[in-house]
Amino acid sequence: MVASTPPATAPSTLLTTLVRTSRETAAASARNDKVATLAGFLASLPAADIPTAVALLSGVPRQGRVGIGWATVAASFDGFGAAAPPTSRPEEPILTLADVDRAVTTVGQTHGPGSDAVRKAVVGDLFAAATDLEAEFLAAVLVGGLRQGALAGVIASAVAKAYGVKLRSVRRAAMLLGDLGLAARLARSEGEAGLGAVGLEVGRAVEPMLASTASDVEHALTETGMASVEWKLDGIRIQVHKRGQQVNVFTRNLNDITDRTGAVVEAVRAMEADTLVLDGEVLGSQPHFFDIMLLDGVDLLDQPLEQRAALLRHTVGSLHIPAVVTDDPVRAQAHLESALAAGHEGVVVKALDTTYEAGKRGKGWKKVKPVHTLDLVVLGAEWGHGRRKGWLSNLHLGARNTGDAELGDFVMVGKTFKGLTDEVLTWQTQQILARETRRQGITVFARPELVVEIALDSSHTSTRYPGGLALRFARVRRYRDDKGPVEADTLDAVRALMVTLPVHDLPQ
């Protein structure tokens, strides 16, 4: 049963209510219990609070990441559960969701000379008005450390339950709006009819369809049947929208980078279509496209790939990513090898009957690419927060240096917290603390003695680390107790996996 509608002038919900809901959700082990807890909370909210609440429960402010890091938060909160100064904490909750939303908006809109001081003051005022539990929650959300199990899938189910609408309708509207919070507010105010009226709109980016992983092309074709086998370029994923001469370019995270992709804009502007939405990659400065989502006002999301591919080739011409249509593993393998020989990541095998499932990792798309491993040394780790509070989590990884002596014996090449189970977190925390040499902020540095096997897609040039290299999509496979630091891989081994990331300064 749908809860009665609160009055239009209902005051904003207290943050403490959301924090309590978040903690109850984290404590619940069963998915149905999480959904029920969230649905009850969502049903009680005034419409104006819904987008903010959904975003905060998902672990990211409605405005996205606005550049609030630990350095800013640390001025008011130390990251380990102690708000500062303790004497300023209010005895009773006073912060509302609207207060939090306004503060984050102000921080996101503050730029230029003197902006750092203003941003810190706004965050400081926010934390000064928060209770200890609220401050802990805000710190986790603002720096991306919330771990409660209330992610998009669970929240979408809770929205459907709270407002009496179909889950598939919520998911579809959230995908097309690019915002689950807006879809939730629409579900509350207009129900099933409102959700169903949402369509793909030129100029409003949607989350792209993603591919699941297959071990090789033969396994991929077993699942897809006749397929389009396409080169997987090692570029930046883009979604391009065109209306007349107006062209907008978005990243996979829906950031608008139009002003930094002039060659893409010019290429799409020249295409013979009044309205157009394309999916592709930018490599160097040049675009390459592999899907078409809308053409001359016609939404193509529900059309099979075979039909979309024909329209795409006609529309983009030579900017179409190389592809072969086959169900023959030998021919598909040859296309994979040609992609690798050209310096690309691999191939994506796409069933010809697949529709474009925006925002989903579709079963009809299978990516095939080699997985590399490196044995690296643990140089330190950062204290976790949220669910990983109390554990050393984010590993600082180093490669053995056999070149420039000024860089030291081991050179940092990346960080990762992925692939760590609770058991491994407990073990590595003990091991790193036993080797501790110093601390800086939330980082514990250690003697370079632990060797860990890291899986990664590739390495790339980067100015972030002193060796000029960084790992791409690194995750922990296992600790190598059988290896010492002198057996760790070298910077040259990291460099051997290097690909050139074009336009590497663009946000992704």
Rounded CA separation 245/403 (Å)? 52
Could you check whether the bond before residue 448 is cis, i.e. omega within 30 degrees of 0? no
CA dist list (Å): 9 to 49, 184, 186, 191, 292: 12, 19, 18, 20, 44
Report the b/e string of 369-383 with b at 16+ CB within 10 A: beebebbbbbbbbbb
Give all strands of the β-sheet with 286-295 in edge-to-edge order. 246-251, 236-243, 275-283, 286-295, 298-299
Is residue 265 within 8 Å of 249, Cβ to Cβ?
Answer: yes
Rg of the chain over Cα atoms, rounded to whole angstroms, equals 25
* Range list of H helices, 249-298: 262-269
Is residue 279 within 8 Å of 301, Cβ to Cβ?
Answer: no
Closest C-alpha among 500, 345, 462, 472 to residue 416? 472
φ/ψ (deg, to 5) at 161 = -70, -40
Length of the chain measured in residues: 508
CA dist list (Å): 501 to 74, 80, 236, 320, 508: 33, 36, 8, 20, 12
Closest C-alpha among 282, 302, 290 to residue 358? 302
Could you tell me which residues come within 8 angstroms of residue 203 by beta carbon, excluding any fewer than 6 positions away? 241, 243, 246, 248
Helical (H) or strand (E) element with 397: strand 392-400
Q: Which residues are catalytic?
A: 232
For the packed helices 97-109 and 15-27, what is the interaxial angle rounded to 10 degrees?
Answer: 100
Question: Looking at this protein, which amino acid is placed at residue 4?
Answer: S
Phi-psi region of 343 (alpha: psi -120 to 50; beta: other; left: phi over 0): left
Cite the beta strand spans of 284-345 per DSSP E: 286-295, 298-299, 323-326
Please return the burial class of 75, using the count of CB atoms within 10 Å of its CB with bins 0-12, 13-18 and 19+.
Answer: middle
